Amino acid sequence: MSRWILDHLWLIPAVPFAVSLVILSLPNGRHKSAAVLAVAGQIAALVMSFFAFLPTLETPGFRFVQNFTWFTFGDHALRLGWLVDPLAAVMLMMITLVGLCIFVFSTGYMAGDKNFVRFFAYLSFFSGAMLGLVISNSLLLLFICWELVGLASYLLIGFWMGRPSAAAAAKKAFVTTRIGDLGFFLGLLWLYGRSGTLLFYDGGDGCLEKAGLTMLGASATFIALLIFCGAMGKSGQFPLHVWLPDAMEGPTPVSALIHAATMVAAGVFLVARAYPIFSLGAINGVTPSLMVVVWIGVITALMAALIAIAQADIKRILAYSTISQLGLMMVSLGVGGVAAGMMHLLAHGFFKALLFLGAGSVIHGCHGEQDIRKMGGLRWLMPITFSTYAIGMMTLSGVPLFFSGGWTKEEIQHVTAHWPASRLPYYILLIGVVLTALYMTRQIIYVFFGDRRVASQHAHESPRVMTMPLIALAICAILFSIVLTPAWPWLHDYLTGTAAGVELVRLIQPTLFLSLVLVGAGFALGIWMYRKAGVQDRQRPADTDPLELAQSQLFRFLENKMWIDELYARTIIAFSWMSARLSDWMDRHFWDRLVRGFGGIGQLLGIFTAGIDERGINAGVDETTVGTRGLGRLISAAHSGQIQTYLSVIAIGALALLLFYAWLA
């Protein structure tokens, strides 16, 4: 079975694609068939991924490559390929598992939507593209899937296109990521120009293998930075992060699947995949490109965590938290901890999907309200949502020992602390841990504790189909930590290709206490700051944030996302607007006149030829026509309209022919 799947790897993305096409062709009312088809497609993908995952367990450092020729131009063949290695295999498992949970959740969440069928078609389409992305063995194929994923994201953010804000958010996401993708594409072309191949692994000739890398030389830094541009766009890193919070306009399952667990992680995955290019020529594990990665990650992580403190929309807080965590992963990759970064990516996939789905469940229960200041007291009304959400929150905050997030964060801290270039990132990350605990505490106090406010008056627990995925994901988030502990760093070894060993002593590390203290500090700070936030007037939203009372300037600054959108509007967008106006003016007043002048010459020529036509040619043609018509009248007299006459004439003709031949013989 595994062998068969490896030989037919294309089936893994193809099945969701096919399902998506089938669903698209369904009539609009077929909710049940659409849901069943989509979930079945996802289950099929999960099963196939599992069988592709199995062989990677057996041999450490397993790598299966299958290349094929896409087309040939001249004597040069453009080749694409599929690839399964531990990196791709764990991504496959994570995407299909989380995806399945989210598909099931969506059948409940979207139940009342009239575009239900279209939603599942898009979702399946996304799933196919994402699966294709992780198993492609060619930067070009990866890029194709990358763009398809972007398209799916665009379609799904703008799913409720009736809302102007959703349409605007979709456009913003598309354009912003496109800026990054432009860089990515340039890097891809440059890489192709230098190494002559886009295959990652090709029996020693791939661009990530020795032969290919030596051809890159000094340009590796620039290629790596250009590729990182794409990763920045997709993963919402600092200058290009502005689209991700707005992307929360899409349905909540979409936010969970695409804008938290899978697609945004594609940037991190890309960096991990192309890591040999980033680390080419490293001195002591540091290269200029990796340096950029680290600092961008640090800035993003800190900035997003700060902004998250001052947001009121439940999904926006989670969005900024996602950005912050992605920054964390980038830091980890940059300082050399590829395995640590990927581990955090996987853990993050589970718990962030859990948090988003929990948020979805809350929103569902509160009849579409997203403002946390209008909620409150949901603890007893939605017990399952509350408990799973709490697990998610503690995992995200990095509570040690029992939660997967804690272990991965510790791993990242560990590698960051040993970065030879600077200690600053390490300290900033520690601040980030406190901030994370703080904003999550704030959110959970607002939503689940205190008294019921406007939106939570008639809240109710969500149906089974929505709570079951929550429970499943919560269990995953906890159980996942088994393979992450330093005592048995199975996943770490699996990713790096070394053999695992169990040593209980390693379980207790100094950093463990440090993070315990930091997280505890964050929680304590949060509880202290927001202790009164829950007890307020029942009918009014909690409009004044404690932080706002204390530091209103700072809160304003953070609430408005550090004015970055406004900055872009004043600079980049204003510039584009000006240049567009200029081109418009040029077109109207300069080029238009030029074209009109040429038109005038043509007109003159036309008048001239018309004269010739009228005088000379027409007269001759008229004469011919009159003659032909006379001849036609003459011949038409022979047509009697009686078919039997015609038949007789034919018979006479045949007879004559017969006699003629007889006479000849």
Distance CA 380, CA 373 (A): 18
Residue 641 within binding range of other proteins, rule CB under 8 A:
yes
According to CB under 8 A, which one of 283, 549, 631, 643 is a site residue for other proteins? 643
Contact (CB, 8 A) for 239 and 232: yes
Interface pick for other proteins out of 502, 504, 569, 647 (rule CB under 8 A): 647
Q: How many residues does the chain have?
A: 665
Are 156 and 254 in contact, with CB atoms under 8 Å apart? Answer: yes
Measured from the CB atom, the residue of 615 and 633 that comes closer to other proteins is 633
The phi and psi torsions of 69 (rounded to 5 degrees) equal: -90, 125
* 606-635 binders of other proteins (CB under 8 A): 635
Q: Applying CB under 8 A, which part among 107-115, 225-233, 291-299, 641-649 lies near other proteins? A: 641-649
Considering the rule CB under 8 A, would residue 283 count as an interface residue with other proteins?
A: no
Question: Which one of the spans 87-95, 258-266, 311-319, 644-652 is the region binding other proteins (CB under 8 A)?
Answer: 644-652
The region of 46-54, 424-432, 586-594, 646-654 touching other proteins under the rule CB under 8 A is 646-654
Q: Which is nearer to other proteins, 626 or 643 (CB)?
A: 643
- The span from the CA of 419 to the CA of 403, in Å, is 26
Residue among 21 and 567 whose Cβ is closer to other proteins: 21
Among positions 513, 651, 663, 664, the unique one binding other proteins when judged by CB under 8 A: 651
Distance CA 270, CA 532 (A): 44
Provide the sign of the torsion angle of the four alpha carbons 221, 223, 224, 230, taken in this order.
positive
Contact flag: residue 648 with other proteins (CB under 8 A): yes
Identify the residue among 284, 609, 624, 636 touching other proteins (CB under 8 A): 636
Concatenate the DSSP letters of all residues of 340-351 into one string: HHHHHHHHHHHH
Residue partners of 160: CB distance under 8 A and separation at least 6: 166, 249, 250, 251
- Would you state the structure tokens that stand for residue 52, as one six-digit string? 């592709």
Q: How far apart are CA 103 and CA 128, in angstroms?
A: 13
Q: Which of 442, 447, 448 is nearest to 530 (CA)?
A: 442
Which residues are within 8 A (CB) of 178 and not within 5 positions of it... i.e. 6 or more apart? 150, 233
Smallest distance from the beta carbon of 625 to other proteins, in angstroms? 19
Identify which of residues 164 and 641 has a Cβ nearer to other proteins in the complex.
641
Q: Tell me how many residues contact other proteins (CB under 8 A).
A: 21
Decide: is 1 part of the binding site for other proteins (CB under 8 A).
no
The one-letter amino acid code at 363 reads: I
- Tell me the C-alpha distance between 63 and 100, whole Å: 26
Closer CB to other proteins, 599 or 641, in the complex = 641
Measured in degrees and rounded to the nearest 5, phi and psi for residue 84 equal -130, 120
Give the binding range for other proteins (CB under 8 A) out of 315-323, 404-412, 422-430, 652-660. Answer: 652-660
Counting contacts by CB under 8 A, is residue 479 touching other proteins? no
Among 594, 619, 662, 664, binds other proteins (CB under 8 A): 662
Min CB(21)–other proteins separation in Å: 15
Taking the complex as a whole, how short is the minimal distance between the CB of residue 430 and other proteins, in angstroms? Answer: 59
Among 604, 637, 663, 664, binds other proteins (CB under 8 A): 637
* Residue 286 DSSP code: B
CB of 649 to other proteins, least distance (A): 10
Rounded distance between C-alpha atoms, residue 182 and residue 165, angstroms: 26
Q: Which of 424, 479, 621, 659 binds other proteins (CB under 8 A)?
A: 659
CB 271 to other proteins: min, Å: 43
> Which residue blocks in 196-281 are alpha helix, DSSP H?
210-216, 220-235, 243-246, 252-256, 265-273, 275-278
The radius of gyration computed from the CA coordinates of the chain, to the nearest angstrom, equals 33
Least distance in angstroms from the C-beta of 7 to other proteins: 17
Spatial separation of the C-alpha atoms in residues 274 and 342, rounded to whole Å: 13
Single out the residue of 560, 571, 579, 640 in contact with other proteins (rule: CB under 8 A). 640
**CA dist list (Å): 227 to 174, 223, 397:** 18, 6, 30
Q: CB under 8 A: which stretch of 77-85, 299-307, 617-625, 648-656 binds other proteins?
A: 648-656
> Smallest gap, in angstroms, from Cβ of residue 623 to other proteins?
24
Helix axes 288-309, 314-334, angle to 10 degrees: 160
In whole angstroms, how close is the CB of 310 to other proteins at the nearest point? 53
Q: Which of 112, 642, 663, 664 binds other proteins (CB under 8 A)?
A: 642
Based on CB atoms, which residue is closest to other proteins, 380 or 660?
Answer: 660
Whichever of 117 and 484 has its CB closer to other proteins, that residue is: 117
Q: Which of residues 360-379 bind other proteins (CB under 8 A)?
A: none
Least distance (Å) from other proteins to the CB of residue 411? Answer: 48
Task: Please name the residues in contact with 374: beta carbons below 8 A apart, sequence gap of 6 or more.
Answer: 366, 453, 454, 455, 456, 541
Closest listed residue to residue 223, CA positions, set 269, 265, 184, 279? 184
How far apart are alpha carbons 172 and 187 in whole angstroms? 23
197 within 8 A of 188, measured Cβ to Cβ: no
User: Is 638 near other proteins (CB under 8 A)?
Assistant: yes
Does 40 engage in binding with other proteins (CB under 8 A)? no
Residue of 162, 639, 663, 664 interacting with other proteins (CB under 8 A)? 639
Residues lying near other proteins in the complex (CB under 8 A) are found at 635-644, 647-648, 651-652, 654-655, 658-659, 661-662, 665
